[in-house]
Homo-oligomer: A and B are copies of this chain.
Amino acid sequence: MPDTVELSADHVEPRERVEDALARVTSLLRRQRLVEGLIVDQVGDGGDAALRNSAVTQTIKAELERTLARLHPADIAFVLEALPLDERLYIWELVKADRDGEILVEVSDAVRESLISSMDTEELVAAAETLDTEEIADLAPDLPQEVLDDVFRGLPVDEREELRAAMSFEEDMVGALMDFDDVQVRPDVTLEVVLRYLRRFDELPSQTDQLFVVDRNETLQGVLPLPKLIVSDPRLTVGAVMEPPVVKLLQHEKADVAASAFERYDLVSAPVVDTNDRLVGRVTVDEVLDFVRQRADEEALAQAGLREEEDIFASVWKSFQNRWTWLAINLVTAFIASRVIGAFEGSIQKLVALAALMPIVAGIGGNSGNQTITMLVRAAALGQVTPGHARKLVRKELTVALINGLIWGGVMGLIAMLLYRQVPLGLVMVLAMTLNLMLAAIMGVVIPITMIRFGRDPAVGSSVMITAVTDSGGFFIFLGLATLILV
């Protein structure tokens, strides 16, 4: 079979690494800019037409188009993300229009916005029409209403229903991860019939590792994993070989629940049912993987006070908008700390060493408190922190704080003593650091546990709060003790 050999030899050609593709695109763009520069030098700024039609730029453009055509949509998305705005939009124009939709689904929100704003209604409608309903729902928040209306009118009735359903879910619900590509079979047919039914497809939906067994009312009866379908006797009925689903997800559950289930039970797909146990769709592991990654990114960004994923080439104005809230909040807490210091200005004037030492006391409290909070927030995210354990946790954290306070406070107290040749100053330093560490320990447990008790996400804001407490608290403890003992 020479045909097969030919095919396989061709097939194992390794896919180009996306980093290499990016490097090639970047170097082609640079060459093009050089050429354009030369032409402008020769014919002046008016030579626009000549420029556009020059043989060299045409060759480079064709080479870029060829490179893009070979790339997976996710890889084109990667290249677009890595380019500054002007080059990004130039490349976006070179991408074949029929691939626009799948690429828009892949890029980050920030970059998607920049691409969509460069397209007109017609292009957007055409792009959306190449997508599945759940993908359209993903794009929907970024699309102009006009485009959405057009797309909606273009859909068959059942898909309109699906789109409406998909758009009704919050981003953090199971429904937002769901697709409608579930293959359904009845329990009373034989595997032979199922196999014949499947052969009528050209291919199965991606990530299909199991078929969903439903009765006439679409109630979920069980699942039929493809491997089981393959290894079982074809004369058996679906009902005889089907298995219970490892989990059944509900549309309105938190997506976190789905993510934990996929991680815990190593799932590839899972059925989604409504409250009447009727199958409405499925969640697949690729969506879960994206969700987990995105959630982790959001947390890291929120930790640093960025409201959302920021395109590194975003405009100055967009960057400002994304960052100002956090800076403002921190200014407020810094101002409060500053007023605490202000209250002790008399003591500082008498003993100016206090000014130099006080940031050390505040700093170590913030660091230590953040350690406690981070540990608790992660355990809480896994559902492992119950308010019942609060006392046990506080006791442990207090002991750790006491040890840290005596050791590091001792070290710093000794240094302060030697530096300023005052034994009492050293003792105040030890005492203040120990007390501020203990304050950090208590608040590090109390803040997240209180937030959990009130149904808030402890990951958001805990870190600002603890730093505010340990800064103002640290200054107060240190300057207060110094005023009592030294001044």
Contacts and interface: CB of A to CB of B under 8 A. Distances in A.
A404 to B, nearest CB: 6
A290 B265 CA distance: 11
A375 B312 contact: yes
Contact of A220 (B12, B204, B323, B358): B12
A264 B75 contact: yes
A364 B173 CA distance: 36
Interface in A363-387: 363-364, 367-368, 370-371, 373-376, 378-379, 382-386
Interface in A101-139: none
Interface string A69-107: 000101100100110100000000000000000000000
Given A74-B263, A306-B374, A331-B364, 7 more contacts: A12-B244, A18-B260, A285-B289, A299-B300, A300-B374, A305-B370, A312-B379
A297 interface: yes
A187 B213 CA distance: 33
Interface stretch (A54-62, A150-158, A161-169, A336-344): A336-344
Nearest to A302: B374
A331 B75 contact: no
Interface in A31-60: none
Contacts of A221: 8, 11-12
Contacts of A388: 26
B207 A266 contact: yes
Interface in A288-345: 288-290, 292-293, 296-297, 299-301, 303-306, 309-310, 312-313, 316, 319-320, 323-324, 326-328, 330-331, 334-335, 337-339, 341-342, 345
Interface in A1-48: 1, 3-5, 7-8, 10-15, 18-19, 22, 26
Given A326-B371, A359-B341, A363-B334, A383 B82 contact: yes
Interface stretch (A141-149, A193-201, A450-458): A193-201
Most interface-central of A8, A293, A299, A330 (chain B CB within 10 A):
A8
B345 A360 contact: no
Nearest to A316: B399
B471 A187 contact: no
A300 to B, nearest CB: 6
A396 interface: yes
Contacts of A229: 230
A293 B260 CA distance: 10
Interface residues of A, number: 151
A364 B203 contact: no
Given A3-B240, A12-B244, A323 B400 contact: yes
Contacts of A188: 1, 4
A324 B7 contact: no
9 contacts: A12-B245, A84-B392, A229-B230, A263-B293, A268-B285, A299-B300, A331-B408, A341-B359, A348-B348
A374 B304 contact: yes
A16 to B, nearest CB: 11
Contact of A198 (B15, B74, B230, B364): B230
A242 B9 CA distance: 12
A108 to B, nearest CB: 9
Contacts of A290: 263
A324 B206 contact: no
Nearest first, the 10 A-B pairs at minimum CB distance are: A296-B296, A4-B239, A11-B244, A304-B374, A204-B227, A266-B286, A74-B264, A82-B384, A355-B355, A341-B356
A280 to B, nearest CB: 15
B1 A382 contact: no
Contact of A352 (B233, B247, B316, B345): B345
A159 interface: no
B305 A371 contact: yes
B400 A316 contact: yes
A228 interface: yes
Contacts of A316: 396, 399-400, 403
Nearest to A403: B320
A237 B1 contact: yes
Contacts of A345: 352-353, 355-356
Contacts of A300: 296, 299-300, 303, 374, 378
Given A220-B12, A408-B331, A306 B386 contact: no
A367 B330 contact: yes
A418 interface: no
